[in-house]
Every structure is written in C-alpha cells, then in structure tokens.
Amino acid sequence: MRPAVFLDRDGTINEEVNYLSSPEEFKLIPGAGEAIRLFNQAGFAVVVITNQSGLARGYFTEETLQKIHQKMCKDLAAHGARIDAIYYCPHHPDDHCSCRKPKTGLVERAAKELGLDLKKSYVIGDRYLDLLLARNIGAKGVLVLTGYGREELEKKLPEIGLEPDIIARDLLDAAKRILQS
C-alpha cells in the first residue's frame, strides 16, 4: 500500500473559474505540473478528488467534464506529470450523497481500487472541505492559498476552528514541503 496525494481540482491544480464548464476555460496554475511530477517521482499516487455539482445543476454535461479532464491530463503531461485517477461527485449538495467532500466515499473507493495507505496520505486543496476530508480519513490536510485558499484561511477556518497541517502558497510549495518532511 502506498501513500497518496488527494488533490482538489479547481483552485488547486487549475485556476478557479466558477463552474468550469468547457476545456477552453481550463488553465493550469503555474507550478502545478512540476508539483505533480515531483509527487510522481517520489512514488505517491496522485488522485484528483473533486465535487462537480455543476453536473447536477445542468451547467455542463458528463461528456464536457471528461473533455476538461482530458485537457488537464494533456496539459500536465506536457510537464512530465500524470494523474493516477480522477474521482468526482456529480451530485447536488442537497442530495446528501456519500461521495461529496468532506464525506469519504470517493477516497474510500480510490483507496480500495488503488491500494492506498490513507494514514500516510495528504489531502491538498483550497477549501475547508478538503481539510475536513483529510481529518475524516486520518490524512494530513494541506491548504493552498490559490483559488479560495487565502479567503478560507482568513475567514472560514477561524470561524469553524479548523487548522491545516500545512499552509502553502500553491501546489508546488505544498509538494516541496511534503517531500522535505
């Protein structure tokens, strides 16, 4: 069983676009490709865990989401980086499903399918939900200050009393800190 980095997508790997709904809108955050390549080289499974309620809301189709993910993988490959798996929740928040972050359904599925050690893993994202997911699976939670990260750090985290294990400027900074620990 190997450790994983579970990555949020929007605001962590790519620039935050409210309900990203076309591949043309997808743009990697600078350094994201290098960060994922470093994780690949260090032997971590790199798994994207993302809430995509835009599907349930009718903002985009399953086919469009697949095209966005294909573009992400292609853009990362240009940096010598790869994603081992992508898991997404297509449900509306009001559906109360077991797969929407911070619930653990997607991570549990990934752990079973990929043979992952959750206790040696990290969840990296720009939202408090990512940190709650980390706590719920017994992993370390890393907040990046890209996307909504800075706002979450200043407002939401103090409000709910949640402390990240690591605060990083961006995904590349997070990778360097994790790999140095």
- Could you tell me the mean pLDDT of each successive run of 10 residues in the chain, 181 residues long? 97 94 96 98 98 94 96 98 98 95 97 98 98 98 98 94 96 98 84
Q: Are 174 and 145 in contact (CB under 8 A)?
A: no
* C-alpha 115, offset from chain centre: 19
pLDDT of amino acid 45:
98
pLDDT of amino acid 60:
94
Residue 10 annotated in active site:
yes
pLDDT of amino acid 115:
98
Q: Indicate which residue of 10, 75, 126, 170 is catalytic.
A: 10
Q: What span, in angstroms and rounded, lies between the C-alpha atoms of 146 and 171?
A: 8
pLDDT of amino acid 50:
97
Q: Indicate which residue of 8, 75, 84, 130 is catalytic.
A: 8
pLDDT of amino acid 181:
84
CATH number at residue 33: 3.40.50.1000
Q: How many structural domains compose the chain?
A: 1
**Range(s) of the domain holding residue 109:** 4-180
